[in-house]
Structure 1
């Protein structure tokens, strides 16, 4: 019988479980949860800031996003970061409150549609040893590997095959999802049927980079399924064993998802302005050269005009405190960014808040720090509208300083 534990990503207390040290180490390797030893024995299970699910034998642990991020919104954020043209329609939409079951059902549906008219084939180059000539003989390999022998022949030829990147990505995602917790038997069966139809297609080993595929008219029916498959594969965690017990996990670092989304969405929204938007922009806080090691910083988002920074922003997936304040350390960090870049205004972008944007003027300086919340609980179109409003405010602010106008 499966023992299920459900946590919220902000929980500060959790249930106590009794597990072996090997099981604890395996589960902690996913970075989904941590285990704190208790005086009376056992371990308290606590979230580590990520969301997702892990199954180890009969134990299933799920960490859900905080209330501000619904499952549908989370899937949208994941997809948009990889492809700014991504919309929630690409995964068919979902009203399921469980991340994995929603993801699995969407994948099964899109995978069935992708192969409904047959499995995609394409010509691929094959190198093999054959007893008859096919394609062309690789003379160099023949001499090196089989000196003095006429057969087998080292040949290269083109084969019309289903073993192409599109099918490799799709089959690997289907196999992984069929093994994860919170996937119902009906959906698991549908995924298994798709897996069987992709017989002969290689499965990508865990940890290996995903093969590249190019969207074309020929693989158009695969596009939605592949976008969703890439979400699944990029966020799978360690799929190992603890002793003889198999473990599978899907883990999403929410802070990283939010930062990547804000960077991508702002870059897209600011693309209509002059200049360019860069992420992880390198800058030093201290004057160089110096006899001391540099104080180096990588700034989340910087918009430049003619090579000069005019906008600086930092995305923070953090909750307000009970008193309605964000952490002071965020302001210290932004003050350092503004100082190093010579800017009079910095933008701290938060994942929602109970109040609207606010501006803080820093004493003894001419620097202002804007706290701008983005409500992630609304539909994707409304989320992007908020980013567009933010980008417009940034452009207007940069123009009003008199340093440079970035509006077209």
Structure 2
């Protein structure tokens, strides 16, 4: 299997698979010419568009034969079979660091909104470390296996056939046209109860794709067993149409998670613009969104029920007459009439740099939030991932009683520990 692993903002170049060279503070990782040409085609396709869409390409051109990956994490497979794994820039670019980065990423993904990672387990990371694509396929197979144990649903399928016996309703026009000579046969219309329904067709199609991609023996074995269960179900001939026909009712609730995985595996939800290519796979997520959702989830766990935590709140406007330029702070924490506004920034800052590495535009943004939320706003926070160069909070005073606190958020902390001691700031800061 042709696999390469790199981190956010590393480079991709043409060369012998996996070769690495240092370029500044980043690594340039080599991939085959065929894989590079495929990525170049994606980039040219996106650059040639005259309009914007939901896709923000995870690559940027940094020279004639050099690409830089952006702040997206996950895995991409090219038609030639090369798998490109992109990990967050949390740990060092070593084998042990990559394992740690995968573990942290999977933990954070469980709290990503509209993504199905809540059922995942880290157990296999310790037994046999896998690349992300293999891990994602493991989660999918676990979900389908759970579905099979709860029961594969069947449905009534309308059929019209020329039979040797009368079954259902006799179609007179077809009977006269087809059986004028063979009068012993009957052209009938009837409903048959069988598992050939769109949900099962999609799962069978995804299992077939996983069987061709997986290199793990346990995954291959489980995939064969599950494909045997769906052997009487045909594969999907129109994936998008079958997704539109999927039913959502109480009898089908246990299909929800497997179908979400099917959307990812069959590229119906992808950040890569080649979403219709079923021979490839791309499961990529913006790291800024992962970090924001993870921080919000951890704050809800840490603060308890006395505080409410909302994300992307849309209550305030920069201009009030007319109401224009809506403000959308990442996180708003409320307790009664009081509130605290926080923004998450997926950026490795260095407290020893000028201005401590904090962006001036971020300061303007938080200052605006503080002013627009008025006297009810008791504090402002910028939450950055904790790293070796940023381990203690940094405080800035604006004017009056308005302060801003830059806090290091520990992504490596276990869920039952405190990833950020924000409650102590809410309950003990002198500006409350």
TM over 0.5: yes
Q: Gaps spanning 5+ residues in structure 1: where?
A: 136-141, 403-408
Q: Distance in 2 between matches of 1:339 and 1:285?
A: 11
What does the per-residue CA deviation read over 1:94-127, in whole Å, with 9 as the maximum and x for residues that have no partner?
2325212233344445544653x5x723364656
On the 8 A contact 2:370/2:379 being kept in 1, the answer is yes
Q: Which residue of 1 aligns with 2:125?
A: 94
How large is the RMSD of aligned CA atoms in angstroms? 4.7
Q: 1:372 to 1:206 in 2, by over 3 A?
A: farther
Aligned-residue offset at 1:352: 2.2
On the 8 A contact 1:4/1:59 being kept in 2, the answer is yes
Q: Which residue of 1 aligns with 2:406?
A: 371
Residue 37 of structure 1, aligned match among 50, 58, 63:
63
How many pairs does the alignment contain? Answer: 367
Q: Which residue of 1 aligns with 2:331?
A: 301
On the 8 A contact 2:43/2:59 being kept in 1, the answer is yes
What does the per-residue CA deviation read over 1:313-357, in whole Å, with 9 as the maximum and x for residues that have no partner?
212221124736343332222122111112241122222233445
Q: Distance in 1 between matches of 2:401 and 2:146?
A: 57
Q: Gaps spanning 5+ residues in structure 2: where?
A: 11-25, 47-54, 92-99, 175-185
On the 8 A contact 1:357/1:373 being kept in 2, the answer is yes
Aligned-residue offset at 1:44: 0.9
Whichever of the two has the greater Rg, that structure is 2
Q: Distance in 1 between matches of 2:372 and 2:319?
A: 9
Aligned-residue offset at 1:25: 2.1
Q: Distance in 2 between matches of 1:153 and 1:338?
A: 72
What does the per-residue CA deviation read over 1:190-234, in whole Å, with 9 as the maximum and x for residues that have no partner?
435423422316658269579576788x987x8986786677575
Residue 75 of structure 1, aligned match among 106, 111, 116:
106
Greater length-normalized contact order (CA 8 Å, ≥ 6 residues apart) = 1
What TM-score do you get using the length of structure 1 for normalisation? 0.69
Q: Distance in 2 between matches of 1:380 and 1:335?
A: 31
Instruction: Give the match's secondary structure for 1:70.
Output: helix
Q: Distance in 1 between matches of 2:67 and 2:325?
A: 37
On the 8 A contact 1:36/1:45 being kept in 2, the answer is yes
Q: Which residue of 2 aligns with 1:251?
A: 284
- List aligned pairs for 1:281-320, cutoff 5 A: 281-290=313-322, 294-304=324-334, 308=337, 310-320=339-349
Q: 1:231 to 1:4 in 2, by over 3 A?
A: closer
On the 8 A contact 1:309/1:341 being kept in 2, the answer is no
Q: 1:171 to 1:270 in 2, by over 3 A?
A: farther
Q: 1:154 to 1:298 in 2, by over 3 A?
A: farther
What does the per-residue CA deviation read over 1:142-181, in whole Å, with 9 as the maximum and x for residues that have no partner?
9xxx9xxxx98988x794647475x56754553454455x
Aligned-residue offset at 1:296: 2.5
Residue 381 of structure 2, aligned match among 318, 331, 347:
347
The yes-or-no answer on 1:57 pairing with 2:80 is yes
What TM-score do you get using the length of structure 2 for normalisation? 0.65
Aligned-residue offset at 1:289: 0.9
On the 8 A contact 1:178/1:188 being kept in 2, the answer is yes
